[in-house]
Every structure is written in structure tokens, then in C-alpha cells.
Amino acid sequence: NQQIHLDNRPVGEAVASNFKLVSSETPALQDGQVLVRHHYLSLDPYMRGRMNDAKSYAQPQALGQTMGGGTVGEVVESKNPKFEVGNTVVGMGGWQEYSVVDANQPGALRKVDTTHIPLSHYLGAVGMPGVTAWYGLVKIIAPQVGQTMVISAATGAVGSAFAALSKARGCRTVGIAGGPDKCKYAVDELGFDACIDYKLHKDAASLSKALKEACPNGVDGYFENVGGMVLDAVLTRMNAFGRIAVCGMIAGYDGLPLPLAYPALILTQRLKVEGFIVSEHMEIWPEALKELGGLVATGKLKPRESIAQGIAAAPEAFLGLLKGKNFGKQLVKLI
Ligand code: NDP
């Protein structure tokens, strides 16, 4: 069983030598446990925060241990009557080829149906990132028909699900993404009404002008994934009583400060700004997954994936995600 451990913590930017590839035997199963062979490993921005030894909502990743992370795969051995060999499952198996799971722990392993939805999508659009988009849009932004919604990191795992959910609610939906290819894809494939390439803008004032064109009626809901200049620019276009779901600030994850020039606009525009962590709202997952599964099964949401091959490729693929090299949900294919 090949695994990637966190070997040492980043000083500034994360680098490949923070990780170490190791091999170990999988232990014999105890009663209640199952052995899962992972088909895909999910790489997610939150993992960067866990590499630091700082106080946050999630425990830091322990040194010398397998990196945590979402996985999908199949049961290859079972000592648990609820799981059979061949079941396809989603869990938190971590950066390794196999995991031994105590399947009696609530939520440790969930069977998934791959008849209409490919297994890998349970780590993306029909998994944690999709539910994240759903929670921020439905519960925090609470959109109304005809309003304008904006999201940053628009073509990623969260952003692509957001587009389908927002369009389904009759909203003008505008993305912000890095580069012409991502922006073209956002409009042609994901259904965004417009997408702005933030890399063409050197400061918030210039990005704000582009937003004015794309959002002639202002912005009612903003789903924040990036922070910094992008947040500043969107703040200048928020309508009174607008809502901002603060989901992520990836521009600041890898050691950069995130200054904000216009916080006073939160007052003057009477904005509602609310941060959230999707795993603290498990009660909405079934409803969200049902809608997301329906959108994927009917082809209304066609999520794109960036797939790295083999466990040894995980660190580089993860560092690439932090630099926007992924185009769609970043996965590692393990078989
Ligand atoms: P993505 O698939 O969107 O990948 C990350 C993207 O972020 C990159 O492709 C890149 O897109 C963009 N990015 C990276 N660095 C920068 C930068 N310096 N400035 C601007 N953009 C950058 O990831 P996810 O969809 O999985 O996650 C999106 C956001 O949602 C993240 O902030 C993540 O932390 C957050 N999140 C929060 C959760 C919660 O519970 N609060 C749960 C899940 C995710 P581009 O090339 O377009 O710049």
C-alpha cells in the first residue's frame, strides 16, 4: 500500500519535499472493518491549511502520517455485514491506495450508485464540493429569480456546481476565473452568462469596471472562493442588502497576505456576510446531493476533471491546484 505522508511543514509556499512517499502492508481486518481499494483520491484546497500547525476549524495534519482526504473506491474485503465485496463507496481514505475502515463509525463509509453517475463525481459535483456550492447559494445567499450571482474560482469543483444551481434558480450567473480557456469553458459548457478573466486586471478598480459590464444591475449574491483583489472588486458592485457567502480565500492559503481595501462597503450597502464550513451542516447534505445528482444524471451539470495518474503524482497535482493549474475538479486516479 503506497501512501503519501506529510513529512515536514511548509515555510511560506508548500513544496514537494513537504511530502514523502512510503510503502506499508495493510493490516489484517478486525470485525466491523472493511478494506477499500481506492479508485480516486480527491485533492482539495483545505488540505493546504491543514499542513500548517495553526489553530483553525480543522485539526492540523499530523507529521509522519498519511495525508487525509476524500476517496472513492470498491470494497475488496469485508468483515462488516453491511458491506460486500464489490460495493462502490465514498469515504475519507486519505492519500493512499488502500484503506482499512471501521465501517460501523457513523459516516465513515457510504455506498454510492454508479448507474447514472460516474464514481469520480462523488468527490466533486455530487460530493463535498457540490454540497458546498449548494449550501452557500441556497442557505446563505438565498437567491431570487432575476437576481445576479457572482462566483470566483468559477470553473473549479465548487464553481461548476454553483453555475448549474444558480441557473436552475433563474439567476444571471457570472463567473470570475483565471485565463481565456477557463472563461470560454465557463460560458460554453457550464452555462455562465459571462465570465471575467481576473488575470487581465492588475487591480481591483480595473476588475470592478469589467464587473460593471457583466453585471449591469449590480451584484445581489457573491460566492467568495478567492479573497484579496477579487473580493475587493466585487464589493464595489454589491447592491444594497446583497449577501456574500464566504467559502474560501485561496489567494491567501499559500503564505500571501490578503489586504482588503473596501470593508466599509459592508456597512454602507448593508451587506450580509457569512462564512461557513460545509461539514458542519450535515443535515442539508441529502437534499443537496439529491438535486446535484439529478443535475448530473440529466446532463445539466457536466463537471470537468483534472486527473493525475498514480499516488506518487499527488503532491505535484496538489501544488498545481494551489496555483490554478487544475481545470475542473482535481483528482488522482489510483487504478
Ligand atoms: P477549485 O477546483 O476551484 O481549484 C482551486 C482554484 O482556485 C484554481 O483552479 C484557481 O482557479 C483558483 N486559484 C488558485 N489560486 C488562486 C489565487 N492565488 N488567486 C485566485 N484564484 C486562485 O477548488 P474547489 O472548487 O475545491 O474549492 C474552491 C474554494 O472553495 C476554495 O477556496 C476552497 O477552500 C473552498 N471550499 C470551502 C469549503 C467550506 O466548507 N467552506 C468546502 C470546499 C471548498 P483560477 O485558475 O480560475 O484562478
ipTM: 0.98
The 10s digit of each residue's pLDDT in 144-178 is 999 999 999 999 999 999 999 999 999 999 999 99
CA of 5 to the centre of ligand 1 (A): 23
Q: pLDDT value at position 6?
A: 98
Closest CA to 315 of 82, 10, 81: 10
Instruction: Say if residues 75 and 101 touch (Cβ distance below 8 Å).
Output: no
- pTM as predicted: 0.97
What per-residue confidence (pLDDT) applies to 282? 95
Q: Which of 56 and 242 is assigned the larger pLDDT?
A: 242
Does the pLDDT value for residue 181 go beyond 90? Answer: yes
Answer yes or no: are the C-beta atoms of 36 and 89 closer than 8 Å.
yes
> Which carries the bigger pLDDT value, residue 263 or residue 284?
284
Q: What pLDDT does 158 receive? A: 98
pLDDT at residue 2 above 90? Answer: yes
> Cα(156)–Cα(306) distance, rounded to whole angstroms?
10
Predicted pLDDT of residue 140:
98
Of the chain, the percentage scoring pLDDT greater than 90 comes to 95
How much distance in Å is there from the Cα of 28 to the middle of ligand 1? 38
What pLDDT shows up at residue 260? 84
Amino acid sitting at position 272: K
Section 124-152 average pLDDT: 98
Question: What is the C-alpha to C-alpha distance for residues 172 and 182, in angstroms, rounded to an integer?
Answer: 19
Task: Classify the phi-psi angles of 97: left when phi > 0, otherwise alpha if psi is within -120 to 50, otherwise beta.
Answer: alpha
Ligand 1 site, residue 42, Cβ cutoff 6 A: no
What are the b/e assignments for 144-176, b being 16+ CB within 10 Å?
eeebbbbbbbbbbbbbbbbbbbbbbbebbbbbb
Ligand 1 pocket member 178 (CB < 6 A)? yes
pLDDT at 205 over 90: yes
Nearest CA to ligand 1 atom 48: 178
319, pLDDT greater than 90 = yes
* Strands of the sheet with 148-152, listed across from one edge: 194-197, 172-177, 148-152, 219-224, 238-246, 272-275
Tens digit of each residue's pLDDT (9 = 90 or more) over 8-35: 999 999 999 999 999 999 999 999 999 9
Burial 74-83 (b: 16+ CB within 10 A, else e): bbebbebeeb
Give residue 59's pLDDT. Answer: 87
57 pLDDT higher than 90: no
Ligand 1 lined by 321 (C-beta under 6 Å) = yes
What local confidence, expressed as pLDDT, does residue 58 receive? Answer: 81
**What is the per-residue pLDDT for 115?**
94
| Third-level CATH fold of 128-279 | Rossmann fold (3.40.50)
- pLDDT the model gives residue 33: 98
Domain ranges of the chain: 2-124+303-333, 128-279
The pLDDT value recorded for residue 261 is 83
Residue 44 beta carbon below 6 angstroms from any ligand 1 atom:
yes
What is the position in ligand 1's atom list of the atom closest to the CA of 330? 2
Closest ligand 1 atom to residue 277 Cα is 40
Could you name the CATH architecture of 2-124+303-333?
A: Alpha-Beta Complex (3.90)
d(CA 33, CA 36): 10
| pLDDT interval class at 255 (50, 70, 90) | confident
Task: Say yes or no to pLDDT of 226 above 90.
Answer: yes
Average pLDDT, stretch 105-134?
A: 97
> How many angstroms is it from 299 CA to the middle of ligand 1?
24
